[in-house]
């Protein structure tokens, strides 16, 4: 059951059409949830995933929204609830990874990194609190929240802020809503990074392997359902966060 008895087994996954978000969508569908697949540009992938899961006939749907547009963020959950009924779980997975030294991080770059990686998920959390009232939120963080990875400056800072608001909201909204974070390590090279670059970092991971998207997805379902846990960050990183600052040696 989602978060407690009587709550809706319907989940909104942002950035749910491709990559890790797609694995999260599949895992919730396999666990018996109706899934709302949010996408921005990946419409074809969202429709293909929707069809694979049985389409609207099976209770699933896909919704488009640009999460950099505050009005679209504000309208997303109310529209999803209006058209398909209550939502019991929100998974904030949409993000944009960027790497730039702090010395080159100007106000505009900082604002852009925060807008998608902190402000949008936070506003969706707030919307969930107002519109859905009860259930569970899972925020996709990054193992860098335990590190001082200065080259992932603005992205890393935004994820740290998201970890902080995960804990704060867990307290403020208890017992109605549980809020947790999943902090992946090396799963898939970001769209703007060559896969070989990530592969070269794997020997530095204590478990010597990349993390499977399915394992990140399983952790999201676990946190959505485990009523004993709130305010927790679950590291899915093969132990990387234990190694300290810039543990992978990534440039
Ligand atoms: N990949 C990893 O190894 C890794 C490691 C640590 C943490 N994480 C975290 O895990 C989560 C998933 O990772 P990922 O690599 O699968 O993410 P990703 O591919 O970088 O991004 C996921 C989705 O975010 C959506 N998105 C980006 N900008 C948007 C906007 N303005 N409005 C709406 N949607 C937007 C995109 O949807 P469309 O394609 O539909 O445009 C994109 O497909 C992220 O939060 C990431 O930070 C990933």
Q: What is the rounded distance in angstroms from the CA atom of residue 127 to the CA atom of residue 71?
A: 12
Q: Which of 15, 75, 158 to mutate to test the pocket of ligand 1 (most atoms within 8 A of CB)?
A: 15
Q: What is the pLDDT of residue 6?
A: 55
Please give the model's pTM, rounded to 2 decimal places.
0.97
**Count of structural domains, the chain:** 1
What distances in angstroms separate CA 238 from CA 18, 186, 203, 210, 224, one per listed residue? Answer: 23, 9, 11, 8, 22
Across-strand partners of 90? 12, 137
Contact by Cβ (8 Å): 184, 20: yes
Ligand 1 mean position, distance from CA 22 (Å):
10
Tell whether the model's pLDDT for residue 137 goes beyond 50.
Answer: yes
> What number does the ligand 1 atom closest to the CA of 41 have?
41
Tell me the three-class secondary structure of 9-51, residue by residue.
CEEEECCCCCHHHHHHHHHHHHCCCEEEEEECCCHHHHHHHHH
Does the CB atom of residue 142 touch ligand 1 within 6 A?
Answer: yes
Q: Which of 59-68, 131-140, 185-194, 216-225 bottoms out in mean pLDDT, i.e. has the lowest?
A: 185-194
> What number does the ligand 1 atom closest to the CA of 43 have?
40
- Bigger pLDDT: 155 or 246? 155
- Bigger pLDDT: 183 or 150? 183
Residue 246 lies in a domain: no
Residue 248 lies in a domain: no
Instruction: Tokens for 63, please give them.
Output: 């919704």
Does the CB atom of residue 59 touch ligand 1 within 6 A?
Answer: no
* Contacts (Cβ under 8 Å, ≥6 apart) of 215: 236
Residue 1 lies in a domain: no
CA angle 198, 202, 203 (to 5 degrees): 140
Contact by Cβ (8 Å): 20, 14: no
Return the SS3 of 52. Answer: helix
Tell whether the model's pLDDT for residue 246 goes beyond 80.
Answer: no
Q: Which of 103-107, 151-155, 207-211 bottoms out in mean pLDDT, i.e. has the lowest?
A: 151-155
Q: What is the pLDDT of residues 13-25, one digit of tens each?
A: 999 999 999 999 9
Residue 207 lies in a domain: yes
What distances in angstroms separate CA 81 from CA 28, 69, 72, 136, 158, one per listed residue? Answer: 18, 19, 14, 15, 28
Does the CB atom of residue 176 touch ligand 1 within 6 A?
Answer: no
Q: What is the pLDDT of residue 8?
A: 78
Ligand 1 mean position, distance from CA 6 (Å):
31
Q: What is the pLDDT of residue 5?
A: 43
pLDDT band at residue 4 using 50, 70 and 90 as cut-offs: very low
How does strand 34-39 pair with strand 10-13?
parallel
- Containing structural domain, residue 36: 10-236
Residue 49 lies in a domain: yes
Q: What is the pLDDT of residue 232?
A: 98
What counts of helices (H) and strands (E) characterise the chain?
Answer: 8, 7
Residue 100 lies in a domain: yes
Does the CB atom of residue 219 touch ligand 1 within 6 A?
Answer: no
Tell whether the model's pLDDT for residue 3 goes beyond 60.
Answer: no
Tell whether the model's pLDDT for residue 1 goes beyond 70.
Answer: no
Tell whether the model's pLDDT for residue 78 goes beyond 60.
Answer: yes
Q: What is the pLDDT of residue 244?
A: 80
> What number does the ligand 1 atom closest to the CA of 211 have?
3
Does the CB atom of residue 210 touch ligand 1 within 6 A?
Answer: no
Does the CB atom of residue 15 touch ligand 1 within 6 A?
Answer: yes
Q: What is the pLDDT of residue 193?
A: 86
Residue 81 lies in a domain: yes
Q: Which of 65, 64, 47 is nearest to 56 (CA)?
A: 47
What distances in angstroms separate CA 21 from CA 27, 130, 217, 234, one per listed residue? Answer: 10, 24, 8, 17
Q: What is the pLDDT of residues 145-161, one digit of tens each?
A: 998 887 788 999 999 99
Residue 125 lies in a domain: yes
Q: What is the pLDDT of residue 93?
A: 98
* Contacts (Cβ under 8 Å, ≥6 apart) of 110: 154, 157
CATH number at residue 78: 3.40.50.720
Q: Which of 72, 94, 140, 147 to mutate to test the pocket of ligand 1 (most atoms within 8 A of CB)?
A: 94
> What number does the ligand 1 atom closest to the CA of 66 have?
32
């Amino acid at each position: 059951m989602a978060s407690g008895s009587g709550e809706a087994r319907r989940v909104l996954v942002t950035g749910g059409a491709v990559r890790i978000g797609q694995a999260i969508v599949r895992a919730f569908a396999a666990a018996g949830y109706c899934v709302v697949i949010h996408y921005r540009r990946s419409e074809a992938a969202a429709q293909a995933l929707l069809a694979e899961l049985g389409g609207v006939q099976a209770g699933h749907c896909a919704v488009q929204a640009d999460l950099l547009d505050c009005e679209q963020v504000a309208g997303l959950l109310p529209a999803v609830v209006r058209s398909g009924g209550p939502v019991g779980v929100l998974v904030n997975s949409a993000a944009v990874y960027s790497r730039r030294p702090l010395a080159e991080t100007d106000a505009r770059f900082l604002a852009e990194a925060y807008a998608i990686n902190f402000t949008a998920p936070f506003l969706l959390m707030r919307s969930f609190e107002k519109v859905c009232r009860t259930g569970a939120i899972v925020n996709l963080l990054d193992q860098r929240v335990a590190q001082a990875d200065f080259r992932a400056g603005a992205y890393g800072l935004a994820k740290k802020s998201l970890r902080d608001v995960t804990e704060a909201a867990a307290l403020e909204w208890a017992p109605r809503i549980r809020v947790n974070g999943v902090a992946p390590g090396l799963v898939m090279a970001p769209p703007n990074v060559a896969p070989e670059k990530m592969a070269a970092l794997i020997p530095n991971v204590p478990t010597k392997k990349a993390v499977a998207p399915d394992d990140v997805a399983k952790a999201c379902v676990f946190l959505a359902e485990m009523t004993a846990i709130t305010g927790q960050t679950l590291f899915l990183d093969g132990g990387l966060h234990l190694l300290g600052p810039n543990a992978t040696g990534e440039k």
